[in-house]
Structure 1
Amino acid sequence: MMFHPAGHPRQKSLPFSVRARDEPRLIGLLPLVPLGLSQCIFTAELMRFDATLPATAHAALSVVSSSFAVRQFLQNGLDPNLYNEDGLTALHQCCIDDYKEIVLLLLEAGADINACDSELWTPLHAAATCGHLRLVQLLIERGANLLAVNSDGNMPYDLCEDDATLDYIETAMADQGITQETIEDARSSVERTMVDDIHRLVKEGVDLNTPLEHRATLLHIAAANGYLEAAELLLEHKANMSAKDDDGWQPLHAAACWGHVQVVELLVAHGADLNGKSVLDETPLDVCADEEVRSKIQELKQKHDAIKKLHDKHKSMLQRRTSSAGSRGSRVKPPSSRYPPCSRERATLQDKPSQQQLLTSRAVGACKNTEAQNNLIGSSRETNRSWDGERGWD
């Protein structure tokens, strides 16, 4: 992937200011340049200067280093800050290989003592990691940044395992008045700057999904560097988690690759695709080398798959119920469209006598029946009285 964690993509071609055709004698100095250094600042670029240069010349570069040869290249215009595709400068390489004399030459020629490679390692990181005490002393004396933070959040003293070298670095930090608070501030300074920039972009109405170099977005950068606060802020403002860079990497790929488990969890919680594929058909799990992060991704994937399976099951059951209810309903005679339901109900109620009307009607009927019965009884009594009268009235 061409995009690196710090968000500063490195160019692959190495600019070279020396005109070797005009200075053919420089070609003869190649075998005297240290192998690692030559790979860092020359490589195929020198081969282009003279087609007659034998391919076996690079095999000869393992000859003992010659500060004279390097001095000649520098005096003839070689840029001391050239870097390869990994961002390594000549100064980085010499600090790895413990070439103090060449380090001095490079610094005198203007080499950047705090140059960062693609993972934000400075020459002091390299020298401290390798335990090269004399180079650590030289770099610190020349002003190397003791608080430089690489892409993993480590300073030079974090990476030093050699006791004597570590003791020197810590003493130098104390002499410069560096405290634990200073260290923590330095670790978070880059992310704070990014957070401030995001707030400014939001205020200015800038699209946070605008592709940068290699089509990486701000969310790619935050994810690659493990900037949790910046990632949260971007997601709050609808940053696109599905955006892909030139290699087809989504932000989740970047977080997984550089082992930032908290950012991985954050992105997945917001719906990032655990099965997203890159141009090379790689998922976030495929590009992750950190065992802890791999375990977390697998755990999240299992939970995601279980939830999806349960969701699909409920969805299927709901569809069957809906289909069944629809088929039963089709056999029921549809209601009349003459009235709306409430109107039909009112109309039906109006056609029926109320309970009170029924009671009144029954009461009237009962009264009439009583009157008729009384008339009949009265008539019978009159008849009886007449009949009795013939016998003599009682």
Structure 2
Amino acid sequence: HGADLNIRDCDKQTPLHLASRRGHHSIVDLLLAQGADLNIRDCDKQTPLHLATGHGHHSIVHLLLAHGADVLATDIAGRTPLSEAKTEEVIMVMIGLTEDLNRRDQQTGNTLLHSCCLHGSEEAAKCLIEKGVRHDVKNKKGETALDTALANGHRRIASLLPGYLQSP
């Protein structure tokens, strides 16, 4: 009754951040039903989706994505929620519920595949490749996912890309 759903603690985290990080499905569900901001950012510019993916809470990830959480939200280090994903289950939920896997971040021009190549998320990169994402998309620096993987020393991911590159 009139409580501020987006009240913040000293780390600028809201009740939704805390419930998402700790895997409290019923609390996340209640907060979303009451209108909590699902893309709100903490002091590290992380959204509740970053925290749920990073802690392996696939049911929370599913719930947040079903309510429209931004999969391309970048934190202070430039990581997206997908690049925070640590388990195959979370990765599969995220990729399965993301409508446009080739969507580009407005600020960097990076796709989810660029993000995987930037942060070394090999399982997520494999899954995206299997889903048929485009590999020829260039970000605002003019780099493809392959360029990004090589520039960041992720040769195992880079080795997945040449065989899948679309011809010009």
Common fold: TM-score over 0.5: yes
The answer to whether the 8 Å contact 2:7/2:15 transfers is yes
Q: How is 1:1-394 mapped onto 2 (pairs within 5 angstroms)?
A: 75=1, 77-173=2-98, 176-179=99-102, 182-183=103-104, 185-186=105-106, 188=108
What is the identity percentage for the equivalent residue pairs of Structure 1 and Structure 2?
A: 31
Q: Deviation of residue 172 (structure 1)?
A: 2.3
Per-residue Cα deviation, 1:36-77 (whole angstroms, up to 9, x for no partner): xxxxxxxxxxxxxxxxxxxxxxxxxxxxxxxxxxxxxxx3x2
TM-score (structure 2 length as normaliser):
0.61
> Which amino acid in the other structure matches residue 73 of structure 2?
A
**Structure with greater Cα Rg:** 1
Deviating 4+ runs (over 2 angstroms): none
Any gaps of 5 or more consecutive residues in structure 2? 110-140, 142-168
Partner Cα distance (2:47, 2:20) in 1 = 10
Q: Which has the higher helix share?
A: 1
Partner Cα distance (1:105, 1:171) in 2 = 24
Any gaps of 5 or more consecutive residues in structure 1? 1-74, 190-228, 230-394
The answer to whether the 8 Å contact 2:56/2:90 transfers is yes
Root-mean-square deviation (CA), in Å?
A: 1.7
Q: Deviation of residue 122 (structure 1)?
A: 0.3
Greater alpha carbon shift after TM alignment, 163-172 vs 119-128: 163-172
Work out which structure has the larger RCO, using CA pairs closer than 8 Å and 6 or more positions apart in sequence.
2
3-state SS in 1 of match to 2:108: helix
3-state SS in 2 of match to 1:188: coil
Partner Cα distance (2:107, 2:57) in 1 = 24
Partner Cα distance (2:68, 2:42) in 1 = 18
Partner Cα distance (1:171, 1:96) in 2 = 21
Per-residue Cα deviation, 1:294-347 (whole angstroms, up to 9, x for no partner): xxxxxxxxxxxxxxxxxxxxxxxxxxxxxxxxxxxxxxxxxxxxxxxxxxxxxx
